[in-house]
Amino acid sequence: MKTGERLANLALGGLTLAPLVVKIDPNINVILTACLTVFVGCYRSVKPTPPAETMSNEHAMRFPLVGSAMLLSLFLLFKFLSKDLVNAVLTCYFFVLGIIALSATLLPAIKRFLPNAWNENLIVWHFPYFRSLEVEFTRSQIVAAIPGTFFCAWYASKKHWLANNILGLAFCIQGIEMLSLGSFKTGAILLSGLFVYDIFWVFFTPVMVSVAKSFDAPIKLLFPTADATKPFSMLGLGDIVIPGIFVALALRFDVSRGKESQYFKSAFLGYTAGLVLTIIVMNWFQAAQPALLYIVPAVIGFLAAHVLWNGDVKPLMEFDESKAAAAAAAAAASSEDDGDAKLIKKVE
């Protein structure tokens, strides 16, 4: 881990805990926390091998429709069923999901202190009565899941804002690290669709705000305020993860070309500018704002301006991680076949 990444991790951890001991302006807290989370997630997404699965253009087009259906379903559930019942079911779901996300986030730090055999040797567990279903894991993952389990138990029992935020940050980091848009074209389709999605559900219906306030689960970050009538400011995880995976793609594009985070800086600056503009408009009108309304044009605009200035439009539009993953898999298979051939020849 480079010094910059290590400092970003420490800064994010310190900023998350800081409201327990000192008063921090919620607007500054929102901006710094979101930007640090995107930064950490982006650098964790840079790995020796390309992502095995990437989003297609068709998936990107359908995503806002699927998201709308889920959002409306949650709205109707909260309207016609007991709010406590719905949140109890969701708490059980996020309890399991939280353990997985938190343990995956802690794993890189824990692995350094454990034997290599614990990190590499897989344990295969078959479900009873369903032997065809199996789960693979390592001893290191079990060790990482122990603090995650205790932490999620604390969240489920107390629902403290700090527990909510730590789980929310783990979801964000894992989302940015594991999800791949594949290409900038797919990313532009996804961001454009969610740009319209966010505007429609926030400005034209009460659905988004109602679900955000009723949904007692770590799908949003909570920032303590000094206002007793409004104890927390909120930022949805989607406003971090969705632009974050686009910014992460820009970083991996730079890495693939051997550049020193050239276009990552412009995309990250665009995210920061869009988020700052969201906060300014929200405070000016004293009303909830669809953050993607400001973040999406800023991220795409800053990156597009930089690419046009450098004349790198063609290589950026041709960049495709799904093809890179296929090429890497083919190269690995070819290398394995060559090794087998040499072994056979040696035996003969």
- Give me the catalytic one of 198, 216, 227, 337: 198
CA 207/CA 98 separation, integer angstroms:
25
For residues 35 and 275, is the Cβ–Cβ distance under 8 A? yes
- Give me the catalytic one of 227, 239, 254, 338: 239
Assign 223 to helix, strand or coil: strand
CA 184/CA 165 separation, integer angstroms:
30
3-class secondary structure for 128-191? Answer: CCEEEEEEEECHHHHHHHHHHHHHHHHHHHHCCHHHHHHHHHHHHHHHHHHCCCCEHHHHHHHH
CA proximity to 171, closest of 189, 191, 187, 152: 152
Please give the DSSP secondary-structure letter assigned to residue 312: -
- In this structure, what are the phi and psi dihedrals at residue 130, rounded to the nearest 5 degrees? -130, 70
Look up 239 and say whether it is catalytic. Answer: yes
Look up 216 and say whether it is catalytic. Answer: no
Where in the sequence numbering do the catalytic residues fall? 198, 239
